[in-house]
Structure 1
Amino acid sequence: MSGNKAVAYQEPGVVEVIDTDYPTFELKDGPGVNPANVGRKVPHGAILRTVTTNICGSDQHMVRGRTTAPAGLVLGHEISGEVVEVGSDVEFTKVGDIVSVPFNISCGRCRNCKERKTGICLNVNPDRPGSAYGYVDMGGWVGGQAEYVLVPYADWNLLRFPDREQALEKIMDLTMLSDIFPTGFHGAVTAGVEVGSTVYVAGAGPVGLAAAAGAQLLGAAVVIVGDMNDERLAQARSFGCETLNVGAGAPEDQIEQLLGVPEVDAAVDAVGFEARGHGGGDHAKEAPATVLNSLMTVTAAGGALGIPGLYVTGDPGGVDEAAKVGSLSISIGTGWAKSLSFTTGQCPVMKYNRQLMMAILHDKVDIAGAVNAKAITLDDAPRGYAEFDAGAATKYVLNPNGYVKS
């Protein structure tokens, strides 16, 4: 095997499908690869023929030019695939396995991994704890929006689907296990959602919709989803959520109209650092601390905020010098006065992915329906990125090798 096609970021607003190298069991130099990782041997890895690989809102931050991602970076951290080669140190993963790949790359050997904190593995990124495929400052592991991809520590990282035929039949749901379903679910879990909870999810993109579906799975009594995009709000209503348009006014006022009180038990930030101010409709200006401060207002005293929305330490397009380094004007005094709890950072996917797989396989949740999943070809990726950026209420699933049948 000598070739591979992949989706690469080129400049703000531009992604292209490029010809690139077929993976080997060694990390090569390239755009975004940490110099300390160049030449790193991966005998513990597996090479996958990609079954599905999704476009994520986190990818969009890079494509909009809102990170320090270099030109030529191969994108894609939401991956499922078929194992086609294994390294010499791989013992349990077999050629032919159909697997889900957690977006967090973890070694399974460090203290954090052993404590199930796989989002902050200490051994895979020389610069900081935590790593991911195809993402800026995450160690330079090549992304999976490609025909083939290398996965390190295969016996540890890969979640094998128990039945090939069933997996391919349900692949549009199972593909969500690599990131957005566990990430949204993690947001709901860390917000303290339980049976009978009232929940507010800020953001009706795919992660927000996944958080809403996760809250329902946890037994929430009412799930309210807020956004400015009417099409995405309609998608939230399609599976039983209440909605509010934050462009029309303060969330607490609209929550009071729905619940009789202006507060919820639990809240989830599925927006992140490109948030806009509330009110003002489509003309609202970017105000990156808006969602965090709003959630502190609407969460009942003693409650919790789950924050799967992405915040970065380097944002060239930030609204001011503080925002460009991830320093936001958060009303921590409000959080302190109300004894609120906060959980931020990457979701530790392996903490949830097997349980959520079982929920999918046994028809306890329709996550593909909740996020309006749509399969497109690898060559159609630039169109998918453009439509998603324009606000389409769709989760685009790339189908590089024809496993997803129309």
Structure 2
Amino acid sequence: MASNRGVVYLGPGKVEVQSIEYPKFVDPRGKAIEHGVILKVVSTNICGSDQHMVRGRTTAPTGLVLGHEITGEVVEMGKDVEYLSKGDLVTVPFNVACGRCRTCREQQTGVCLNVNDARAGGAYGYVDMGGWVGGQAEYVMVPYADFNLIKFPDKARAMEKIRDLTMLSDILPTGFHGAVTAGVGVGSTVYVAGAGPVGLAAAASAQILGAAVVLVGDMNQERLKHAKSVGFEPIDLTKSDKLEELIEAVLGEPEVDASIDAVGFEARGHGSQAGTEAPATVLNALMTVTRASGGIGIPGLYVTEDPGSKDEAAQHGNLRMRLGLGWAKSHRFYTGQTPVLQYNRQLMQAILYDRLPIAKVVNATVIPLSEAAKGYKDFDAGVAKKFVLDPHGMLTG
């Protein structure tokens, strides 16, 4: 039998590359399926969402094979797969979606009704997302392949831009979704909370949507320096308790047209409160600085349970939000998992035709699968990099 290796969560702060089972055409319930494919993983990325689990901030079980950002080559197919062929290079949306339920038919593939017995929505290698095996591995099974997968039209051309195209599985469409749902358009002033990879992807998305200026806020000096180097206005949140003052110093006014939360539930206070856990601080700050009738896109992850939080309410997913402020300003809020299939084809075209150099924007850094544990450690320390795992050495030669 063919071998396989994957990144396995072993408990808070610990992951390890281990031998894992080679994929089978079986769903998490144990039911045989014929609509899937097995992929040889060409690239698979470490995501900030993975870090939440690895830090012990979720109810993720030990033994979970991680990884929901996957690009791969088809090596085996179920007999019900009609429109793909062996050898095809494909991008995999992180959403597991059936393509048949009401929400999938509405293009809301982030909340598919048929791939998770516990709740709406499925994902690979993620807590509470249906039990689908993750793709930080050498091989992975992808179900409902004809619906979920997008084939790159020119394999050789795609491999030339694979460091960019690997971002199509999650962070680029997630950042784009945040910008779209915030209402970013031509001439918009935009504030993005968080200078990590998703925040930078959101900032790049705002630019391609026509924003006049994009401000990116963080407390990590290395990430702020990188954000400036790729064309965004850095906002150093260590400088003041009042975000509106920092924005006014750049724009001449204390508000923006649209804002994006790329931080999520592990948010911390800034200024004099720097380092203090404050799960709702980003949302409250965005309501303060977003103009009346403006939009707030929230692609940052919020969880139903955060057992590692020091805040008792947040342990159960409750946040101390100033919702009255947002209501008074007629804000639009848009939350939830990104429905990747709404965006990744057009974003693929933007990459292939040199409109969106996302690998440069997020500082894509390729490492072998064997160095995954070090990649997790470095990413958790706040380096200004997006780690791309190369299980078969196809990105580095």
Q: TM-score range by the shorter chain?
A: over 0.9
Q: For residue 89 of structure 1, give the secondary structure of its aligned residue in structure 2.
A: coil
Q: How far apart, in 2, do the equivalents of 1:58 and 1:263 lie?
A: 29
1:78 CA displacement: 0.2
Q: Tell me the CA shift for residue 239 of structure 1.
A: 1.7
Instruction: Map 1:3-402; keep pairs closer than 5 Å.
Output: 3-27=3-27, 37-249=28-240, 250-280=242-272, 283-402=274-393
By how many angstroms is 1:84 displaced?
A: 0.1
Q: Distance in 1 between matches of 2:235 and 2:188?
A: 18
For structure 1, which segment, 240-249 or 394-403, has the greater mean C-alpha deviation from structure 2 after superposition?
Answer: 240-249
Cα deviation code 1:242-279 (max 9, x no counterpart):
01111211211010010010000000000000000121
Residues 247, 284 of structure 1: 8 Å contact kept: no
Contact 1:10 1:72 in 2 (8 A): yes
Quote the Cα distance in structure 2 between the aligned partners of 1:113 and 1:165: 31
C-alpha displacement of 1:318: 1.3
Alpha-carbon separation, structure 1, partners of 2:238 and 2:98: 43
Aligned to 2:238, the other structure's residue is in SS state helix
Question: 3-state SS of the aligned residue for 1:318?
Answer: coil
Give how far 1:19 is off: 0.3
Paired letter, 1:17? V
**Is this contact kept in 2: 1:171–1:404, CA < 8 A?**
yes
The 3-state SS of whatever aligns with 1:7 is strand
Tell me, yes or no, if the aligned pair for 1:287 and 1:319 is still in contact at 8 Å: no
Take 1:323 and 1:136, find their aligned partners in 2: how far apart are those partners? 17
Q: Report how far residue 240 of structure 1 moved.
A: 1.1
How far apart are 1:38 and its partner, in Å?
2.3
Offset of residue 116 of structure 1: 0.4
Which residue identity is paired with 1:16? E
What are the superposed Cα offsets for residues 67-114 of structure 1, whole Å, 9 maximum, x if unpaired?
Answer: 000111000000000000000110111100000000000000001001
Q: Secondary structure at the match of 1:25?
A: coil
Q: Distance in 2 between matches of 1:394 and 1:277?
A: 23
Distance 2:208 2:395 in 1: 26
Superposition TM-score, scaled by structure 1 size: 0.96
For residue 385 of structure 1, what is the amino acid of its counterpart? Y
Whichever residue aligns with residue 247 of structure 1, its letter is: T
Cα deviations by residue, 1:311-349 (Å, 9 ceiling, x for unpaired): 001111112221001100000000000000000000000
Tell me, what secondary structure is at the counterpart of 1:73? coil
CA distance in 1, matches of 2:115, 2:233: 41
Q: Secondary structure at the match of 2:95?
A: coil
SS in structure 2 opposite 1:284?
Answer: coil
Whole-Å separation in 2 of the counterparts to 1:14 and 1:190: 35
Cα distance in 2 for residues equivalent to 1:90 and 1:176: 25
Q: Give the conservation status (yes or no) of the 8 Å contact 1:79–1:100.
A: yes
Percent of paired sites with the same residue: 66
Deviates most, 11-20 or 242-251: 242-251
Count of residue correspondences:
396
Q: 1:66 Cα shift?
A: 0.2
SS at match of 1:142: coil
Secondary structure class of the residue paired with 1:40: coil
- Letter of the 2:62 partner, please give it: A
In structure 1, list runs of 5 or more residues that go unmatched: 28-36
- The superposition leaves residues 111-167 of structure 1 with CA deviations (integer Å, 9 ceiling, x where unpaired) of 100110000000000111101000000000000000000000000000100001011
Equivalent position of 1:32 in the other structure: none
What runs of 5+ residues in structure 2 fail to find an aligned partner?
Answer: none
Q: Secondary structure at the match of 1:375?
A: strand
Structure 2 counterpart of 1:317, one-letter code: G
For 1:180 and 1:40, locate their aligned partners in 2 and report how far apart those are by CA, in whole Å: 31
- In 2, the alpha carbon distance for the partners of 1:77 and 1:39 equals 20
TM-score for both structures, normalised by structure 2: 0.99
SS in 2 for 1:296: helix
